[in-house]
Chains A and B, each alone.
Chain A
Amino acid sequence: MSDTVFCSCLNYASPARGGWSIVRTALLVPECYQLFIGAPACMRHIVLSSIELGVAERVSCLHLEEADVVLGSYEEQIYEGADELLDSLEPKPKVLMIFMTCIDSLLGTDPEAFLGPLNEKYRETRFIVARMNPIMADSLQPPGTAVQSTMYGLLRKNLQKENSVNFIGNNVAISDENEMIRYLKQNGIAVKHISQFDTFEGFQTMAQSRMNLVAAPVALPAAGELKERLGMEFADCIPCYSKAEILQEYRRVCEGLGLEMADFSREAEEAYQVLSEVATALKGRKVAIDYEATYRPFSMAKLLMEAGFAISRIYTDACASYEEEAFEWLKSRGVDVVVPNLYVKGRSWDEKEQTDVICIGFEAAYLEQSPYVVTLAADGELWGFEGIRLLAERLRAASEKKRSLEKLIDESVLII
C-alpha cells in the first residue's frame, strides 16, 4: 500500500516549516566533519544553520561555478578542496562526509576520482559520499532516509557482542522513564542511542548490540542494511499511539531478545488516566497537530480524541499507508485535514487575532495563529505508554503558557 498524497501543488513554506536538517542529523555521528559540494545557493542555509546550532566548526562547503557544472570538471576540485580542508584541521576528523547536493543527480559524479587519492593520503580519516538532495524527495532514497543509511553504514562488524540494543532513527533519545527501557535494563540489557557517544570509537560499540529498535520510518532501510551487513536483527518501534499497537511493538522487542513479555497494564492505565485528566482539564479547548511533530499525526489525533480532547485540525500533505485506518476514523468524525503547503490569501500573523488552540508542532501553531505550542519534532522522546503520559503532560504545560512563536522558531533552527 502506498502513501496517499493530498496535493501536488506549488509549495508555500510557512515560517514554521522545517525540522531537523540533514546536517544536524548526520552530525550526531561523533568526530565527523561535513563538506558540502554544490552551487552556492544550495549551501547557504546549511552553513547558516550550523552557525546557529553552534556546530560551524564541523561544517564547510565547496562552491562549484556554472562553468564547472557545465563542463563537468569538478572532481579534481573536490579533491583539492577536501585536501585543503583536512590539511587545516587538527585533530583530523574520524570521518569526512562529502555531501553531494541536487546537481549531482544530473552530473553523475565519479566519487572514485577523489575518494581514492583522499583515502591514500589521509589514512586516519574515513571518507564517505553522502547526499543532501531534495530533488530525490519522492524516490525510494529521499534525503532523510539516505542520511540514516550513511550514518549507520559507518558501523563496522564487531564479533564481540554486548547485551545491549540500539534505538536508531530518532534524533533524541527516548526517555529513560519509558517502561520498556526500564524493563530491558532490569534484564541487564543496556540501551544505546547515537547521541550518547562523544567519540567515534564509542559510536562503534553500537555494532556490538544484539538488535536495532527502529524509532522512525526513515531508518527502516538502514536497519535492513545493518541486518544484511552485520547480521543485526531489528524491530519496528516507530512511536505509535494506541494501546494495542504499543503492546504489539513491545512483544516484538521481547521476542527479538528472547524475553518474556512483561505486564505493562499498570503503566498503560496510568498513562491513559493522565491523558483523561488533562482532557477534562482542558474543557474542550481545541487541539491541532502537524506532520512535522509526529510520524503518525492521525493516530495521535485518534488517541487524543478517544481520550476526550477536541481535535480540530490536522496539518499534513499526505497520509502514510500505516495511518489510513486512523485517517478514515477521523474523517468520519469531521476532523479537518489541511494541506499546509497551500498558499492561502489573507493569512498573516496578527497578535490581536491569536487563538487559544493548543498546537502540537510549530507549523500547526503558526497556521492556527496560536501561542500555545507543544514543541515536538518527529515524535521527539515519546515512545510507549510513557510517551503518552509525556504527551499529556506537555499538552497541559502548553495550554497554560503563552509563548512567542517567532522566538521559539528561531531558537529551534528549523530547516527545510
Chain B
Amino acid sequence: MNRLNKILPPFAPDYSGVCSVLYGLGGMTVIHGPEGCTGNYTGYDEPRWFGADVETVGSGLREIDAILGNEERLISQIKEAAKRSKPAFICITGTPIPMMTGTDFKGIAAEVEYETGIPSFGISTTGFAYYDAGASAAMLAYTKKFGKIQTQKENTIGILGVNAIDFSHREMLYDLKRECEKRGFSVTASLCMDASPEQIREICSVSVNLVVSGSGLQTAQYLYEKFEIPYVTGIPIGKTASDLVFETVKRSAFDHVCRNVILQPQAAGGRILILGERVMANSIRNCLIADHGISGIQVCSIFTPHPEWMLPGDVHADGEKEIAEAMREKNGALVIGDPLFHRLIPGMQEDTFLDFPIQAVSSKVYRDGQWNLIGERAELFAQEIERKMRRKG
C-alpha cells in the first residue's frame, strides 16, 4: 500500500522531538541536514520559538558533502560555534540524508566531545519516525549523560514525557505539577520541559516517576532498572480519575511495582473513538469512565505504537489511510481527534466529531482550540462530549 496523504500533513518528525526535549537546557542542538529540515522544527513543531534564546541550529548540509561523506565540515562548524557560545552540551541529530549516507552520529559526537571538551551525544534520528521516538531517545541520552546517582528522597516525584509537542497548551504542565503537589508529592523535575539542568540531574533521587506520554517510557524503564525507581503511566485527567492516578502512584512508591492506569470500559468500544497519543488518549478514557460513567470507548493511537498500553479492542493507526479507516469502522460513534481528521470523512456530521487539536498533527493551525485537561479542568471537555452524545442521540 502506498502512503499517499491527501489531507493530513506528515506528523512531527523524530528530530523535532529531540530538539523539543533539549530546548532550554543550555546546550547546542544541531540538526544535521539541509535548511528545510530545521524549518519544520522552528516553524511548526516548537511553539516556544518566538523569543527563544536557544541554540538549535541547522548544518545546512549540501549535496557534495553528503556524497563525499564529508563530516569534517560539520565538525569544524560545530567547534567554531561552540567556541562562541560555550554551550553546556552538544547534541547532533539526524535527518533523512544522513540516514541514507550512514552518518555515524555517535562517532561525530565523540570527536566533538574530545576536541571541545564539552559533553556531547549523537542521536541518529532519520526524519522517517515520529517525534515521540526522538523525544524518547533524547530524554534517555540526556538522563544517562547527566543524571547523578543519589539517595532517593521520600514523597518526591519525577514527571517523564513532557515536551512542548505533547504539552503544547501553555498551562498544562503548570497544572500537572500543581496536581502532584496537591497530592503530597514534591516535583523534583519534569523531563524535559520547564526544568533546569540541575533539577534534571536530581531525577535519580525521586521516589516514583509519573510517565505522561510514550516518550517518557524508555527513561522510566532505565531509571527503574538502574535505580529501582518505580513508575506509573497515566495523566491525571478528571477528578476521580486523578485520584486513581495518585493512589496508584502512592502504591507504586511504596511497593516499587510499576503500573499503568488504564480503566477497562464496561462495554466494548462503539460509542466513542479517541484518536491521539496513547497515554493522553487512555487518560481521557479513564476520565470518561471514572468521572462520567461513559462506556464503550475505543482508543486508537497514531504515533509510535505501545502494545503494552492497549486494551482488547483498541487499535493503532499508522498514517492517513489507517486513521480514516478506523473512523469509518466506527461509523456513528463520536470521534475525538485533531480537527484535520474531520476532513478525512467527507460529510461527517458536526455532532459526531469533537475537536481535540494535536500539536504533532496540525501544529499551530488550531492552537487556540487546544484543551488543558489536567485534573478538574477536564470537566468542560467532558461536558462537551456529553452534549455531543445527547445531540447525536
Q: Which residues of A contact B (CB under 8 A)?
A: 8-13, 15, 17-18, 38-48, 51-52, 56, 60-66, 69-70, 77, 80-81, 84-85, 88, 102-103, 105-107, 132-139, 342-343, 345-350, 406, 409-410, 414-416
Does the CB pair B35–A134 fall under 8 Å? yes
Cα–Cα distance between A51 and B35 once the two chains are bound (Å): 21
Are A102 and B364 closer than 8 Å at their CB atoms? no
Complex CA–CA separation, A11 to B40 (angstroms): 14
Interface residues on B, range: 35 or more
Q: Does B101 contact A (CB under 8 A)?
A: yes
Is B304 at the interface (CB under 8 A from chain A)? no
Interface residues of B in 332-359 (CB under 8 A from A): 340
In contact, A48 and B15 (Cβ under 8 angstroms): no
Which chain B positions have C-beta within 8 A of A346?
53
Question: Chain B 11-48, CB within 8 Å of chain A: the 1/0 string?
Answer: 11111100000000000101001111111101111000
Bound-complex Cα distance A407 to B28 (A): 28
- Given A42-B127, A136-B63, A349-B51, 12 more A-B residue pairs with CB atoms under 8 Å apart are A11-B57, A39-B128, A41-B127, A41-B128, A44-B45, A105-B97, A106-B66, A132-B36, A137-B60, A345-B53, A406-B50, A416-B43
Contact of B85 among A60, A137, A343 (CB under 8 A): A343
Knowing A11-B57, A102-B34, A343-B85, say if A40 contacts B51 (CB, 8 Å): no
Let me know if A47 and B30 touch, CB within 8 A. no
Which of A88, A106, A347, A416 is close to B39, meaning CB atoms less than 8 Å apart?
A416
Partner of B4, one of A41, A42, A62: A62
Please, how many angstroms separate the alpha-carbon atoms of A85 and B6 in the complex? 7
Stretch of B74-82, B173-181, B209-217, B279-287 that contacts chain A: B74-82
**Are A13 and B42 in contact, CB atoms less than 8 angstroms apart?**
yes
What CA separation (Å) do A137 and B51 show in the bound complex?
Answer: 28
A196–B249 CA distance with the chains assembled, in angstroms: 64
The smallest beta-carbon distance between B254 and chain A, in angstroms, is 43
Q: Which residues of A contact B78 (CB under 8 A)?
A: 10
A48 touches B128 (CB 8 A): no
Nearest CB of chain A from residue B168's CB, rounded to whole Å: 14
Give complex CA distance A20, B35 in Å.
Answer: 15
Query: B49 on the interface (CB 8 Å rule)?
Result: yes
| 14 CB-based A-B contacts, threshold 8 Å | A10-B78, A13-B38, A40-B10, A41-B37, A44-B45, A61-B10, A63-B3, A63-B319, A84-B2, A107-B100, A133-B34, A135-B63, A343-B55, A349-B50
Q: Which residues of B sit under 8 angstroms from A133, Cβ to Cβ? A: 34
B9 within 8 A of A: yes
* B67 interface residue (CB < 8 Å to A): yes
Are A41 and B6 touching (Cβ within 8 A)? no
Given A18-B43, A44-B9, A346-B53, is A84 in contact with B4 using a C-beta cutoff of 8 Å?
Answer: yes
The answer, among B2, B35, B63, B67, for a CB contact under 8 Å with A62, is: B2
- Rounded to whole Å, the gap between the CB of B239 and the closest CB of chain A is 36
A85 touches B4 (CB 8 A): yes
Are B42 and A47 in contact, CB atoms less than 8 angstroms apart?
Answer: no
Task: List residues of chain A with CB within 8 A of the CB of B85.
Answer: 343, 345
User: Quick one: given A40-B127, A80-B2, A349-B51, are A103 and B44 in contact (CB under 8 Å)?
Assistant: no
Task: Determine the distance from Cα of A85 to Cα of B2 in the docked complex, in whole angstroms.
Answer: 11
The reply to whether A65 and B128 form a contact with Cβ atoms under 8 Å apart is: yes
Given A62-B4, A84-B2, A416-B35, the answer on whether A10 and B9 have CB atoms closer than 8 Å is no
B99 touches A66 (CB 8 A): yes
Asked if B267 is at the interface of the complex by the 8 Å CB criterion, the answer is: no
Number of A-B contacts (CB under 8 A): 198
CA distance A9 to B51 in the complex (A): 22
Residues of B within 8 A of A17 (CB): 39, 42
Q: Does B58 belong to the interface (CB within 8 Å)?
A: yes
B365 CB within 8 Å of chain A: yes
- CB-CB < 8 A to B126: which residues of A? 39, 66
Q: Is the CB of A12 within 8 A of B127?
A: no
Shortest B128–chain A CB gap in Å is: 5
Residue in A closest to B319 when the chains form the complex, CB atoms = A63
Does A10 lie within 8 Å of B77, measured CB to CB?
yes
Residue numbers in B under 8 Å from A350 (CB-CB):
51
Closest CB of chain A to B369's CB: distance in Å?
14
* A residues near B30, Cβ cutoff 8 Å: 10
CB pair B36 A134 closer than 8 Å: yes
> Is B362 in the interface zone, CB < 8 Å from A?
yes
Q: In the complex, are the beta carbons of B364 and A410 less than 8 A apart?
A: yes
| Interface membership of B389, Cβ < 8 A | no
B119 at the A interface (CB under 8 A):
no
- Min Cβ gap A39→B in Å is 4
Q: Which residues of chain A have C-beta atoms less than 8 A from B141's C-beta? A: none
**Given that A66-B126, A106-B101 are contacting pairs, would A45 and B81 also be in contact in the complex, using a CB cutoff of 8 Å?**
no
Chain B residues with CB under 8 Å of A43's CB are 5, 9-10
Question: Complex: how many Å from CA A416 to CA B37?
Answer: 9
Chain B residues near A416: list those with CB within 8 A: 35-36, 38-39, 42-43
Judge whether A348 and B36 touch: CB under 8 Å.
Answer: no
A102 and B96 contact, CB distance less than 8 A: yes
Which of A15, A61, A102 lies at the interface centre, i.e. has the most chain B CB atoms within 10 A of its CB?
A102
* In the assembled complex, B95 has its CB within 8 A of some CB on chain A: yes
Q: How far is the CB of A52 from chain B (nearest CB, A)?
A: 7
Query: Which of B58, B78, B365 has the most chain A CB atoms inside 10 A of its CB?
Result: B58
- Asked if B11 and A137 make an inter-chain contact with CB atoms under 8 angstroms apart, the answer reads no
Given A10-B78, A137-B60; A44-B12 close (CB under 8 Å): yes
Residues of A contacting B13 in the complex (Cβ-Cβ under 8 angstroms): 40-41, 44
User: Complex: how many Å from CA A376 to CA B306?
Assistant: 47
Name B5's contact: one of A63, A69, A102, A347 (CB within 8 Å).
A63
Those of B259-297 within 8 Å (CB) of chain A: none
A62 touches B3 (CB 8 A): yes
Q: Does B59 contact A (CB under 8 A)?
A: yes
- In the complex, the answer to whether A44 meets B40 with C-beta atoms within 8 Å is yes
- Contact between chains at A47 and B8 (CB < 8 Å): yes
Of all A-B residue pairs in the complex, the 9 with the closest CB atoms, nearest first, are A416-B39, A41-B127, A40-B10, A349-B51, A41-B13, A47-B9, A39-B96, A134-B34, A10-B57
Shortest A161–chain B CB gap in Å is: 40
Chain B: minimal CB distance from A36 (Å): 9
A48 touches B44 (CB 8 A): yes
Contact of A48 among B14, B99, B362 (CB under 8 A): B362
Determine the residue in chain A with the shortest Cβ distance to B15.
A41
When distances are taken between beta carbons in the complex, the residues of chain A under 8 Å from B97 are: 102-103, 105-106, 135
The residue that A88 contacts in the complex, of B6, B43, B81, B99, with Cβ under 8 A, is B6
A347 shortest CB reach to chain B, Å: 6
Which residues in A have their C-beta under 8 angstroms from that of B11? 40, 44
What's the least CB distance linking B276 to chain A, in Å? 18
- Contact between B35 and A137 (Cβ–Cβ < 8 Å)? yes
Q: Do B58 and A11 have beta carbons less than 8 Å apart?
A: yes
Given A10-B58, A66-B126, A88-B6, are A42 and B42 also a contact pair (CB < 8 Å)?
A: no
Q: Smallest CB–CB gap between A414 and chain B, Å?
A: 8
